[in-house]
Amino acid sequence: MSDVDETVTPPPPPPPTPPSAEGPSAEERQWAMFAHLSALLGGLLTTGWLASVGCVIGPLIIWQIKKDTLPFASEQAKEALNFNITIAGIMVILLALGFLTLGIGFIVIGPLMLLIGLAALVFIIIAAIKANEGVAYRYPFALRLVK
């Protein structure tokens, strides 16, 4: 027999794991996108003067359901909720002004409401895209009523 020292060499250490992307999970991003898009769905389902209320319901429900489990989705749902409350308030005020002027004000208020609605549509689509990318979006000109 030979006196060969048979020492076992330890295996090489595993390669380092790549750094995880410090961002929201796919589920969080998806729910955040749904929070923004639910305002559009609510507006389509409740047309007319109820559309102001319908735009608020979707983000409110998503925020209430996901506020304890998905922080990114909760934050984006609150942002969508605040924006849609702001837009709804502006539309109600403009509608009241139109009626207070006995309909004559709608000559100016009608196109203004259309422009505000189109701007809101663009901002909601941008917010949904950004949320799906994992970027926290803040709407411009939104009152932060829900904290």
pTM of the model: 0.79
Residue range(s) defining the domain that contains residue 124:
26-133
Give residues with Cβ within 8 angstroms of 108, minimum separation 6. none
Is residue 126, in this structure, part of any structural domain at all? yes
48-101 pLDDT tens trace: 666 767 788 889 999 999 989 999 999 999 999 999 999 999 998 999 999 999
- Please answer whether residues 129 and 32 qualify as being in contact, where contact means their C-beta atoms are separated by less than 8 angstroms: no
The total number of structural domains that make up the chain: 1
Q: How many whole angstroms separate alpha carbon 44 and alpha carbon 90?
A: 18
Q: How many whole angstroms separate alpha carbon 76 and alpha carbon 62?
A: 10
Q: How many whole angstroms separate alpha carbon 60 and alpha carbon 34?
A: 11
DSSP conformational letter for 76: H
